[in-house]
Amino acid sequence: MNHNQKEILKLKEEKNAIILAHNYQTAEIQEIADFMGDSLELCIKASQIDDADLVVFCGVDFMAETAAILNPSKKILIPENHAECPMAHMLPREELLKYKKRYPDAAVVLYVNTMAEAKAEADILCTSANALQVVESLDDDQILFGPDMNLAWFVQEQTDKEIIPIPENGHCYVHKMFKTADITFSREKYPDAEVLVHPECDGKVQQMADHVLSTGGMIRHVAASSKKTFLIGTEVDMVTRLRRENPDKMFYPLLDDAICENMKLHTLEKVKKSLLKERYQVTVPQEIADKAKNAVERMLEVS
């Protein structure tokens, strides 16, 4: 453990803080986190924070916002306030309202990867882990689903309901990097490997994979699998976590360049400063938070 990590652990104790980190954080941040997970797991964890005064969120903006929505009495910090999710910003509230006007009878299911102002206009939220479950829990046959068109495609393939992706081209720039050729090439190199990809990948990539899973789903799958070699089609630091937790198995990134630059804006130095100066605080206006909280809680009930 390096000097910065030791200082962070000391500060964490002094400030009665906990650190939540997404699976895409670097190894050194993963090592000092109290809890790691995918969007759903972090959401559930954020709804169960009882004994901490400070919550430091090593993830992107919408994740910290969700923690703030679920914990109005706690101080939620993000070490780097420019850690934004480009996809979450592809569906601003004004855009969503246009779609709601165009499809007045449709239910609105939004991916948790949206900003709080959009969440406030949703009927219910979902994550990549529970998207199908959430859609199937509704009585409505027509669903406005955003902002990820590939997750929308993933759900549409498994339901009889009409899924309308909003906006038409919403996507994650990291998962859009994966091509079918990456799977073909990697399978030739590692013929015994099982290919796991995230549902934010293009439909053709999903069709070629052995399994389409959220990052939390990948962790559970490899732990239970008798297979020994895996090709991982999501952000590269997912491989970091899988290797650490499964030392007897082999993991290879499907693409070495699949790096979320936004997630990587967090560093140990910034986490330390965040704890020391209690910055940058993430807040959500009360009216938006109250409405968004309903959509989050509906999702958690279904999950």
CATH number at residue 108: 3.40.50.10800
How far, in Å, are 2, 196, 215, 251, 263 from residue 228 at the CA level? 31, 13, 18, 9, 29
Query: Are residue 143 and residue 184 in the same domain, yes or no?
Result: no
- Tell me whether residue 179 is in a domain: yes
Compute the distance between CA of residue 267 and CA of residue 117 in angstroms, rounded to an integer.
28
Q: Output the pLDDT for position 40.
A: 77
- Tell me whether residue 227 is in a domain: yes
Compute the distance between CA of residue 214 and CA of residue 26 in angstroms, rounded to an integer.
18
Q: pLDDT by residue (tens digit) across 105-122? A: 999 999 999 999 999 999
Query: Are residue 292 and residue 161 in the same domain, yes or no?
Result: yes
Domain that holds residue 21: 3-84+263-285
Query: Are residue 110 and residue 163 in the same domain, yes or no?
Result: yes
Compute the distance between CA of residue 212 and CA of residue 264 in angstroms, rounded to an integer.
24
- ω into residue 147 within 30 of 0, thus cis? yes
As given in the structure block, the two tokens for residue 81 are: 């306030």
Count of the separate structural domains present in the chain: 3
- Tell me whether residue 188 is in a domain: yes
Query: Are residue 151 and residue 139 in the same domain, yes or no?
Result: yes
Query: Are residue 165 and residue 131 in the same domain, yes or no?
Result: yes
- Tell me whether residue 9 is in a domain: yes
- Tell me whether residue 258 is in a domain: no
Contact 11/276 with Cβ under 8 angstroms? Answer: yes
Strand partners, 17: 54
How far, in Å, are 89, 90, 156 from residue 128 at the CA level? 18, 17, 13
Q: Which residue has the tokens 């209690």?
A: 278
As given in the structure block, the two tokens for residue 66 are: 């969700």
Query: Are residue 124 and residue 141 in the same domain, yes or no?
Result: yes
Contact 141/107 with Cβ under 8 angstroms? Answer: no
Q: Which residue has the tokens 């990809």?
A: 197
Q: Output the pLDDT for position 44.
A: 86
Query: Are residue 161 and residue 294 in the same domain, yes or no?
Result: yes
Query: Are residue 179 and residue 135 in the same domain, yes or no?
Result: no
Q: Output the pLDDT for position 227.
A: 97
Query: Are residue 119 and residue 194 in the same domain, yes or no?
Result: no
Nearest residue to 146 (alpha-carbon basis) of 62, 205, 212, 72: 62
- Given a cut of 50, the residues of the chain with pLDDT beneath it are none
Q: Each residue of 152-166: b (16+ CB within 10 Å) or e?
A: bbbbbeeeebebbbb
What residue type is 201 in one-letter code? C
Q: pLDDT by residue (tens digit) across 126-143? A: 999 999 999 999 999 999
